[in-house]
Amino acid sequence: MSEQSLAIRKFSDLANPTRFLGLAERLLPWFSGLTALLFAVGLYLCFTTEGDYQQGETVRIMYVHVPAAWLSMMCYTVMALSALGTLVWRHPLADVSARAAAPIGACFTFLALVTGSLWGKPMWGTWWVWDARLTSVFVLFLMYLGLIALNRAMDDPGKAAKVSAILILVGFVNIPIIKFSVEWWNTLHQPASVMRLDGPKIDPEFLRPLLIMAVAFSMLFFTLHIAAMRNEIWRRRVTSMRRQAARNVGAVGTGMEGPNA
Amino acid sequence: MISLFLRDLKLSVRAGGGALIGVLFFMTVVAVVPFAVGPDLNLLSRIGPAILWIGALLASLLGLDRLFQAEREDGSLDLMLMQETPLVLTVLVKCLAHWSASGLPLVIAAPLLGLFMNTSELAIGATMLTLLVGTPAITLIGAAGAAVAVTLPRGGLLVSILVLPLAIPVLIFGVSATYAAVEDPAPFLPPFLILMAITLFFAVIGPLAAAAALRSSSD
Amino acid sequence: MPICLVVEGLSAKRGEDLIFHDISFVLRAGEALVVTGANGSGKSTLLRVLAGLLAAESGSVRIDGAAAEIGHPRELCHYLGHRNAMKHELTVAENLSFWKSFMGDSPGGAGKDLEDATEAVGLGGISHLPFGYLSAGQQRRMAMAKLLVAFRPVWILDEPTAALDANADRLFAELVTGHLGAGGIVVAATHQPLGLEARELRMTGFAGVGGMV
């Protein structure tokens, strides 16, 4: 056996949902604990570091906002990789992963938008600015919601998997174009009057809690993602058991009607 | 392939076809705007090109969901999937036919509606030109959405939700190019060329994604 | 070299459910196979897998001895499903000529022209009418005319005689016999006897193995 085929076999061992469930059961407590710990440290640092002389206390919003925005993009990348896994390698867990990641991604994106808006009110004097970044995150949010709607509209998970994988990839290819065009549009309509986060160099004082929060958020994502994948696998098993039950009644031919024939 | 083009064209022109409805919808949307923003001609002439673009964008999405669904319902899609002709090509031709029947009339109707909006001749010309180049992009990327939602009985609304975010760049560069033609400092060519590039790009990924989705949703 | 449809170890799933398992058969030029079985036993699924419209879970379908290189066996097949694949808004002639030119002929044969095809299904002279004006039985017969206008060596027919009366049944049997006589292959799923000399594949449903009779 060549090394490569061995690697493939290991890979497909992991593909076995039962194995994945076992792994998830073992990992989840550790992941949750680590996430809680990181959040404790991160939040403590967030509230103990000094406020910015210019932005005051509102700078603390950034510690939530920036990691959430990063995660909203990472989550779509995870979905795009999963979509590739579904279409190219036909990995059975890939579509579970993509399906589970969509609502999580939407939540992070929503969090980024809300915190951005809260930060914008004292800083820009308005809840919403059609800034290039905010707008592209908003479009990303719309794309997440569209994907969730599509997933919910299709009842056959196998078919929904391939079709939404295609859409995820089309979206992924389009994200740079959308980002680029939104930036173009923004400079056309309102020249750089908007203060940007990346304008001033970030002080190490702020960087430390920010990085810890970023790691905490990532761990939160992995924890939620694994848990959501586990739930999705259970949900599918329940569905297929129900189908089995319905079929057995038909096969025995007892003439008993199911509750929803 | 020419026969497919002609057939789709005939179908959309015959009774029940969507070509006329698209133009009517376009006119209605544009006609409603002054009621919302007020009859101020200066304001209307300023936002006119933008209104025309939004109307055209919404009208192009209308009827897009039937692009493959009608074929699926009567079994024609099965036969198209089986042919030697690459499915991507079939999809592309169907998009072209759909655009000729429902997108081109929008481009032709745009100048008339531009007059209602008190838009200058130059702006009307620019709007027409950008619509001519930009609306095929909406149809092409819309085909991917239509193929994804082909199995859903009421996929129409979903197609719009899925496609609109992807169509934002088309809107941005379409409107930018139009305004650039009218207002002096901004050059017209860069946004217009980018608009063309987006159309060409969508002409590749739209049919590719649509063909892949149609294959996998066959049952 | 006459063609030959070879099916080996075919199984297929619908959603999560295995519909049939390990079906194998070989059909030589001039042979027909009638697929029978109760509703939901997987007849339609089998035909759609043969026509390349559904992916098989395992096993293969291939056509040996094709006159030219082909990309996929489905390219040599006609598929007549439950639906007629004809547009109600277009006339019969427009429908048929579209399919004739869109599908083209497989190597090794040529399709009939429109008038001959409509004559062959007993409906000559009405091809100028919109397809929607025809009765259900006439529509089905026109859908069969579609099999004639473009040449394909293999016909895959799903409930071809639904909505047809006894007369039309006989006419259909003649069409199929003619196709077999010319060295074609026919696979048909049906509830009712088609009046054909053919082998029979009985589907038993729910992962039951189909047995050749």
Which range of residues forms the domain containing residue C161?
A: 4-208
Measure the CA–CA gap between C109 and A77, rounded to whole angstroms.
51
Above 80 in pLDDT, residue A195? Answer: no
pLDDT of residue A103: 93
The nearest CA of chain C is from the CA of A213 a distance in Å of 42
Whether A261 has its CB under 8 Å from any CB of chain B: the answer is no
Is C34 domain-assigned?
Answer: yes
Are A163 and B213 within 8 A, CB to CB? yes
Are A146 and B162 within 8 A, CB to CB? yes
- Measuring CA to CA, which residue among A75, B69, A242, B66 is closest to residue C17? A242
For residue C91, the 8-state DSSP code is B
Are C206 and A251 within 8 A, CB to CB? yes
Higher per-residue confidence, C108 vs A73: A73
CA torsion through residues A246, A251, A254, A255, sign: positive
Locate A75 and state its tokens.
């989550």
Q: How many domains does chain A have?
A: 1
pLDDT of residue B41: 86
Is A11 domain-assigned?
Answer: no
Nearest CA in chain B to C45: B219
- Partner A, chain C 13-32, Cβ-Cβ below 8 Å: 15-17
- The per-residue pLDDT of chain A, averaged, comes to 79
Higher per-residue confidence, A19 vs B198: B198
Probe site for chain C from B6, B78, B88, B94 (most C CB atoms < 10 A): B78
Write out chain B residues lying below 8 Å of C86, CB-based. Answer: 74, 76
In this prediction, residue A3 has a pLDDT band, given cuts at 50, 70 and 90, of very low
Whether C115 has its CB under 8 Å from any CB of chain A: the answer is no
Whether C13 has its CB under 8 Å from any CB of chain B: the answer is no
Q: Which residues of chain B have pLDDT under 50?
A: none
Locate B5 and state its tokens.
């083009």
Whether C206 has its CB under 8 Å from any CB of chain A: the answer is yes
Measure the CA–CA gap between A96 and A98, rounded to whole angstroms.
6
pLDDT, average across residues A26-36:
90
Q: What subunits touch chain A, counting only 3 or more CB pairs under 8 A?
A: B, C
Alpha helices in chain C (DSSP H): 43-50, 92-103, 114-120, 136-149, 166-181
Is C188 domain-assigned?
Answer: yes
The nearest CA of chain C is from the CA of B108 a distance in Å of 26
Q: Which residues contact A140 (CB under 8 A, 6 or more apart)?
A: A72, A73, A76, A109, A175
Percent of chain A exceeding pLDDT 70 equals 80
In this prediction, residue A188 has a pLDDT band, given cuts at 50, 70 and 90, of low
Give the domain CATH number at C144.
3.40.50.300
Residue of B6, B7, B81 with shortest CB distance to C53: B81
Above 90 in pLDDT, residue A79? Answer: yes
Residues B144, A170 contacting (CB under 8 angstroms): yes
Report pLDDT digits (tens) over B66-95: 889 888 888 899 999 988 888 999 999 999
The nearest CA of chain A is from the CA of B219 a distance in Å of 9
Is A10 domain-assigned?
Answer: no
The nearest CA of chain B is from the CA of C124 a distance in Å of 22
Q: How many beta-carbon pairs below 8 A join chains B and C?
A: 72
- Partner B, chain A 185-204, Cβ-Cβ below 8 Å: 185, 188
CA angle C65, C69, C72 (to 5 degrees): 90
Is A173 domain-assigned?
Answer: yes
Q: How many domains does chain C have?
A: 1
Which range of residues forms the domain containing residue A177?
A: 21-189+204-237
Q: Which residues of chain C have pLDDT under 50?
A: 207-213
Amino acid at B111: P
End-to-end Cα spacing for chain C? 28
pLDDT of residue A191: 44
H helix or E strand, kind and range, residue A257: none
The nearest CA of chain B is from the CA of C132 a distance in Å of 12
pLDDT of residue A170: 92
Write out chain C residues lying below 8 Å of A154, CB-based. Answer: none
Q: Which residues contact B153 (CB under 8 A, 6 or more apart)?
A: none
Measure the CA–CA gap between C46 and C24, rounded to whole angstroms.
11
Is C213 domain-assigned?
Answer: no
Are A153 and B165 within 8 A, CB to CB? no
Whether C38 has its CB under 8 Å from any CB of chain A: the answer is no
Above 60 in pLDDT, residue A1? Answer: no
Least reliable range by pLDDT among A50-59, A198-207, C42-51, C98-107: A198-207
Report pLDDT digits (tens) over A116-175: 888 888 877 888 878 777 888 899 999 999 999 888 888 777 778 888 899 999 999 888
List for chain A the helix, strand, coil content (%; round to 5).
80, 0, 20
Is A81 domain-assigned?
Answer: yes
Is A96 domain-assigned?
Answer: yes
Is A254 domain-assigned?
Answer: no
- Measuring CA to CA, which residue among C39, C8, C33 is closest to residue C200? C33
pLDDT of residue A192: 41
Cα A191 to chain centroid, rounded: 32
pLDDT of residue B193: 93
The nearest CA of chain C is from the CA of B29 a distance in Å of 29
